[in-house]
Homo-oligomer: A and B are copies of this chain.
Amino acid sequence: MTREKNAMLDLFPEAEKPIEIIPARKLAAKAAALYVAPADHFQTRPVDELLLDFDGIAGDFHAGPTRRAGGREPWYPRGTEMRNERQLSIVAADELAVVAQRMGLAEIRPEWIGANLVIEGVPNLSMLPAGTLLFFKGGVTLKVDAQNGPCRIAGRSIAENAGMADVEAGALLFPKMAKRLRGVVAWVEKPGTVRASEEISVRVPEQWIYQA
Q: Which residues of A contact B (CB under 8 A)?
A: 6-8, 10-11, 19, 22, 25, 27, 54, 65-66, 75-76, 80-83, 85, 94-95, 98, 102, 122-124, 126-132, 135, 141, 143, 145-147, 179-181, 187-190, 203-212
Contact = CB atoms under 8 A, between A and B. Distances in A.
14 contacts: A6-B180, A7-B98, A7-B179, A7-B180, A54-B65, A83-B189, A83-B190, A85-B143, A85-B189, A122-B212, A124-B211, A127-B210, A129-B208, A146-B205
Nearest to A121: B212
Nearest to A179: B7
B7 A181 contact: yes
Given A181-B7, A189-B82, A209 B210 contact: no
B76 A129 contact: no
Contacts of A180: 6-7
Contacts of A76: 190
Contact of A22 (B27, B85, B128, B209): B209
A145 B123 contact: no
A147 B210 CA distance: 12
Nearest to A122: B212
